[in-house]
C-alpha cells in the first residue's frame, strides 16, 4: 500500500523555521522513510489512547505522526541541530 502525507499546521510552521535547506532535506528524508513503512517505528501513545501515535528519529530530527486512512499525518516535527 502506498501512503500519502498530511502535515499539521504546527509542523508546517516548524518546517518553515528550520535553519537551512540541509535541515529541511533531513526532515523530509525522515518523513519519506516513515511514509514508506509507517508501522516500522515505535507506537508511543499514552495508555488508554485510541489514536495510534508513532515517533521516528533521524540524526538531528524527529517526527511524531499517525498512520491512518492510507496516509500518515505528521503532527509534530523537532529539530536539535
Task: Copy the grid coordinates of residue 5.
Answer: 502525507
Q: How many domains does the chain have?
A: 1
Whether the predicted pLDDT of 1 surpasses 90 = no
CA dihedral for 29, 31, 32, 36, sign (positive or negative): positive
Q: Report the CATH number that the domain containing residue 52 is assigned in CATH.
A: 3.30.2310.20
Show the DSSP H helices in 1-81 as ranges. 9-17, 21-36
Model confidence at 2, pLDDT cuts 50, 70, 90, reads: low
CA–CA gap between residue 15 and residue 33 (Å, rounded): 17
More confident residue, 78 or 1: 78
Query: Cα–chain-centroid distance for residue 33?
Result: 9
- Domain hosting 50: range is 4-79
- What is the C-alpha separation between 39 and 55, in angstroms, rounded? 10
Give per-residue pLDDT as tens, 35-80: 999 999 999 999 999 999 999 999 999 999 999 878 999 999 999 9
Amino acid at each position: 500500500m502506498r501512503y500519502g502525507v498530511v502535515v499539521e499546521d504546527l509542523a508546517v510552521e516548524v518546517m518553515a523555521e528550520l535553519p537551512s535547506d540541509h535541515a529541511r532535506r533531513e526532515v523530509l528524508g525522515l518523513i519519506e522513510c516513515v511514509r514508506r513503512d509507517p508501522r516500522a517505528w515505535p507506537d508511543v501513545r499514552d495508555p488508554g489512547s485510541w489514536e495510534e501515535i508513532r515517533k521516528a528519529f533521524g540524526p538531528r530530527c524527529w517526527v511524531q505522526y499517525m498512520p491512518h486512512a492510507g496516509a500518515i499525518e505528521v503532527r509534530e516535527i523537532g529539530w536539535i541541530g
